[in-house]
Structure 1
Amino acid sequence: MNKPLTLAAILLAGLSLTAHAATAAPAKDPIQARKHVFKEYKKSFGAMGDMVKGKTAWNKDEFAKYAANMETLSSQPWQYFPAGSDKGKTEARAEIWTKPAEFKKQADSHQAKIAELAKVAATATTLADVKPAFGAAGQTCKACHDQFKKD
């Protein structure tokens, strides 16, 4: 048996389970579930933003890890906006449910830009390589917040 290959497989399986556990949202309450996912967003996107702004040192491997995590996360929150989840302690605007096509368009645009960011980050060697993709992804966050999130 090839020990390095086996060890690598075990490590990858463990990382996969760890990543899933870190991003798994509470199942019963959609408001709490989406808040959980967005808290995870803030961790990864915030860490990338700190590198882009020079608050922390540029680390291409860490940036790529955060970007890959964002790609996984970017498909998750939208399922937690079912009809009726506009009631309760939420910052979601009614337009999510009254303009679902526009909300979906924003979500799809966001996912596409996050996927582009992850792709660029995977091969980037400098901070300058990732800044345009990071900025474009950030604009999709802002656009959705402007239209669909209460201040």
Structure 2
Amino acid sequence: MKSARLQPRKLLAAALACGLLAAAPAYAQFAKPEAAVKYRQSAFILMGTSFARLGAMVQGKAPFDAKVALDNAQIVEFMSHLPWQAFTPGTDLPDSHAKPAIWKEMDKFKADANKLQEMTPKLVAAAKTGKLDDIKVVFGETAKTCKSCHDSFREEL
């Protein structure tokens, strides 16, 4: 039986593969709006799953493992760069969980995305210390950044 420790590595490999595909021809346009929605939702799912794994350790619901924490922090950091290119005109589809405010307040939305991208390297740096207390501080700040954007721009799931 394989160790649960390998799962973050698989997620990182999947994230890297998504990133390579995303970088193809200068962030080529999506063929259909549905493809853009699926792309950004997939990026958010991977990011959210890894963030939740960190959260379980931070909250004491899972045993702390410094290597697993670092793996997941790195996935979150990488994925924090991917979904934003898929918020293009015409992708405000029903059931996409994206509020119309995204397109009305694009500057604020981009600022929130940038704030997340500024926080995630700090999360990786904290995880590299191997100290749960260091991770807890940055995790909390990063979670507030996520919540702020969700409150403003994500429909309830």
TM-score range, shorter-chain basis? 0.7 to 0.9
CA distance 1:58–1:17, change in 2 (3 Å): closer
Please, which moves more after superposition, 23-32 or 54-63? 23-32
Matched, 1:114 2:114: no
Larger Rg: 1
Partner amino acid, structure 2, of 1:103: F
CA distance 1:60–1:17, change in 2 (3 Å): closer
Q: In structure 2, what is the equivalent of residue 81 of structure 1?
A: 87
Bigger relative contact order, structure 1 or 2, given CA contacts below 8 A and separation 6+?
2
Partner amino acid, structure 1, of 2:71: K
Q: In structure 2, what is the equivalent of residue 94 of structure 1?
A: 100
Report if the CA contact (8 A) 1:25-1:37 is conserved.
no
Q: Distance in 2 between matches of 1:43 and 1:22?
A: 15
Q: Distance in 2 between matches of 1:23 and 1:106?
A: 21
1:41 deviates by 1.1
CA distance 1:43–1:24, change in 2 (3 Å): farther
CA distance 1:86–1:118, change in 2 (3 Å): same
Secondary structure at 1:143 match in 2 = helix
| 1:63-90: CA deviation from partner (whole Å, max 9, x where unpaired) | 0111011110000010111111002321
CA distance 1:17–1:36, change in 2 (3 Å): closer
Q: In structure 1, what is the equivalent of residue 68 of structure 2?
A: 62
Q: In structure 2, what is the equivalent of residue 21 of structure 1?
A: 17
| 1:118-139: CA deviation from partner (whole Å, max 9, x where unpaired) | 11211x2321111010101111
Aligned residues: 137
Q: In structure 1, what is the equivalent of residue 153 of structure 2?
A: 148
Give structure 1 stretches of 5+ with no counterpart. Answer: 1-14
Report if the CA contact (8 A) 1:48-1:66 is conserved.
yes
Give structure 2 stretches of 5+ with no counterpart. Answer: 1-10, 23-29
Q: Distance in 2 between matches of 1:125 and 1:32?
A: 34
Choose which of 48, 53, 66 in structure 1 pairs with 2:54.
48
- Percent of aligned pairs with the same residue? 31
Secondary structure at 2:142 match in 1 = helix
1:17 deviates by 5.3
Matched, 1:135 2:140: yes
| 1:39-83: CA deviation from partner (whole Å, max 9, x where unpaired) | 101220011011011111001111011101111000001011111
CA RMSD, Structure 1 to Structure 2 (Å): 2.3
